[in-house]
Amino acid sequence: MNDTLVRHFRWQFEEARSGSRWHSMRAVLADLTPAEADWTPPAYAGFAWNRGSIREIVVHLGGDHLHQISRAFGQGEWTWEAVLARYRERGGDL
């Protein structure tokens, strides 16, 4: 993969995470309360290991971001185990 394409992908990831104040994940979650983050949709029919709360979806999204960037541009050090361990170390609890 050439450097221009790599820079473009990194820019896209960063824009989705925190770039636009209207469309970035950080902007959308800025005023979310803990109660809202833990709310579970009553008719959620997704994965058995996930209740579908905003908190779980965001942890999955953020973890997947770290994992994919690590695999594509790094040494692959961000495994799902490492992502969840860091989340727990910082006080997170799913």
In this prediction, residue 20 carries a pLDDT of 66
pTM comes to 0.67
In this prediction, residue 9 carries a pLDDT of 77
Q: Can you tell me the distance from the alpha carbon of 18 to that of 16, in angstroms, rounded to the nearest whole number? A: 6
In this prediction, residue 82 carries a pLDDT of 92
pLDDT band at 33 (very low <50, low <70, confident <90, very high): very high
Q: Is 62 exposed, middle or buried (0-12, 13-18, 19+ CB in 10 A)?
A: middle
- Compute CA 67 distance to the chain's CA centroid, rounded to the nearest angstrom: 10
The answer to whether 25 and 17 have CB atoms below 8 angstroms apart is yes
Six-digit token string for 24: 């970035």
Domain boundary assignment for the chain: 1-31, 33-94
